[in-house]
Amino acid sequence: MKGLGVKALGQKGAATERKPPRPGRSRWGLLALLAWTLGWGGILSPGEPGLAEEPLRHAALFSVEERPEGILVTNRIPWPGATEEMAWLLQPAASADALPGIPGARRVRVPVSRVVVTSMPAVACMEALGALDALVGVGGGRYCYSPAARARAPVEVGPAEGMGAAFDVERLMALSPDVVFAYAYTAEERAGLDRLEALGIPVVLASEFLEETPLGRAEWIRFFALFLGRQREAEEFFDQVDRHYQRLRLDLASVDHRPRVMAGTPLAGSWHVLGKESWLGLLIDHAGGSYVWGDIPGRRAVYMDAEAIFAKGAEADLWIHCGPWLSREQALREEPRAALFRPFREHAVWNNDARSFPGGGNDFYEGGALRPDRILEDLALIFHPERFPGGTPFYYRPLLSEDRR
């Protein structure tokens, strides 16, 4: 499969090879230079002057606004069900003391150089931006896939299970992080993070997982880049991802045959099924597939009766995302009725765990959050192998028998 070369942006040293500003931005560069000369030292944009206001293309849940006080970053829905947005005022470390704040916005001195991360897509963002040097701690390290991040052996600050917001506060305090990139699924988890803020540790809640589209999720690299002072790298990275995705989507829009695709695994007799407008539903559609649960509206997941699943999925052509099943034998041990589905009988089951550690991280949910184009390319290869002769999926692998794994 053809590579994009986007990953190169994340390689060590790439961050320092900054390209000259594009012609349209020279005006901003001059203004920023003037401001710096006047002693404002990067007030307008602490990282790349002017890039903070590059309009967002797909992400709908965060916004960026340049203010005289600094860059105001707002997360509109910081956790599922949140009724209040959260905002951070990013101010250059050199001049933050001289700058006023904005009511309701948490002040963060940027660029941050000591970061603790509990959300694995944030780790992937740091790697892609060449900012792993700033990673000093991680919550839920067992779920981290990135070999580069693991090699840095960041301090584990999460609970034993590696999930949730129950941090080891002493370890966290000892790390003196500039910021904690965290996530919360519930108001309780959100309240737990307040404790860290009370101790003076800025917590940045990311919620890329709530974005409605795959590209919307991927664009959150620009959110993290604002804190890391890597806006230009983020812009270039996302630009390539966006273009590649759109090109693939356009190519696949005219496919003659759309295979019927089912997804998921049963949980306690019922199935967790995503709606047709979910990120998965969109990816299947954009990759030239026909989602068998395309009649379920919206993007949220619903629990469906196994009988209803069988009625729709029994004659599907392909089965993707079979969760924790590592082999056909394991699938049959946990759910013998898997064999009633045609894709299982015809060995057309693909799981998104080609890049994963047993019992640990899975790059699909880490790096894949930034690379929907690569996921799309994988799915297109699985759905339409005739279009990609000799290709091998990056994140996916077929569900095989134990003796063939």
Partner 1 sequence: MTFPPESPRGGPKIPSLPSREVLSRDVWRWAAMALIGAVAGGAFVLHLGHGAVALSWGEVWGILLGSGQGSSQDIIVWQFRLPRAVTALAAGASLGVAGLLMQTLFANPLAGPYVLGVDAGASLGVALAVMGLEVMGPSWEALATAGSFTAAWVGAALVLLGILSVARQVRSGTVLLLVGILFGFAANAVVSILVALAPSEKVHGFITWSMGSFAAAPWPRVRLLLLGSLGGLLVAWGLAKSLDALLLGEDYAATMGVSPGRARRRVLLATALLAGSAAACCGPVAFLGIATPHLCRGILRTEGHRWLIPSCAAAGGALALGADGLTRLPGGAVLPLNAVLALVGVPVVAWVLFSSAREGGAS
The CA-based dihedral angle spanning residues 265, 266, 270, 272, taken in that order and rounded to the nearest 10 degrees: -30
Nearest partner of 182 among 200, 197, 203, judged by Cα: 203
Nearest partner of 196 among 256, 118, 281, judged by Cα: 118
> From the list 4, 102, 306, 354, which residue makes contact with partner 1 (rule: CB under 8 A)?
306
Residue identified by tokens 């904690």 is: 180
- Our finding on whether 346 is near partner 1 (CB under 8 A) is no
Phi and psi of 318, rounded to 5°?
A: -140, 155
CA distance 106 to 85: 12
Question: Which uninterrupted H or E stretch holds 214?
Answer: helix 214-218
Judged by beta carbon, residue 143 or residue 224, the one nearer partner 1 is: 143
Residue 199 C-beta: closest distance to partner 1, Å: 26
127 vs 133, 360, 371, 378, CA distance in Å?
9, 19, 13, 22
Which residues neighbour 72 within 8 Å (Cβ) at sequence distance 6 or greater? Answer: 64, 65, 66, 87, 88, 89, 90, 102, 105
Residue 151 C-beta: closest distance to partner 1, Å: 22
> From the list 12, 257, 337, 387, which residue makes contact with partner 1 (rule: CB under 8 A)?
337
Among 208-216, 243-251, 261-269, 385-393, which window interacts with partner 1 (CB under 8 A)? 261-269
Residue identified by tokens 């929907």 is: 372
- x/- contact string, 366-405, with partner 1 (CB under 8 A)? ----------------------------------------
Is residue 323 helix, strand or coil?
coil
Q: How many CB atoms lie within 10 A of CB 311?
A: 11
Contacts to partner 1 from residues 265-284, by CB under 8 A: 266-270
> From the list 41, 202, 360, 391, which residue makes contact with partner 1 (rule: CB under 8 A)?
360
> From the list 17, 340, 346, 387, which residue makes contact with partner 1 (rule: CB under 8 A)?
340
Judged by beta carbon, residue 94 or residue 340, the one nearer partner 1 is: 340
Judged by beta carbon, residue 214 or residue 313, the one nearer partner 1 is: 313
Inter-residue contact 278 to 372 (CB < 8 Å): no
Judged by beta carbon, residue 238 or residue 341, the one nearer partner 1 is: 341
45 vs 35, 50, 287, 307, CA distance in Å?
10, 6, 38, 56
Inter-residue contact 320 to 378 (CB < 8 Å): no
> From the list 294, 323, 391, 398, which residue makes contact with partner 1 (rule: CB under 8 A)?
323
- Omega before residue 111 within 30° of 0, cis: yes
Residue 28 C-beta: closest distance to partner 1, Å: 47
- x/- contact string, 69-108, with partner 1 (CB under 8 A)? ----------------------------------------
- Our finding on whether 290 is near partner 1 (CB under 8 A) is no
Judged by beta carbon, residue 164 or residue 202, the one nearer partner 1 is: 164
> From the list 335, 363, 366, 378, which residue makes contact with partner 1 (rule: CB under 8 A)?
335
Which residues of the chain form contacts with partner 1 (CB under 8 A)? 160-161, 266-270, 302-311, 314-315, 323-326, 330, 333-337, 340, 358-360
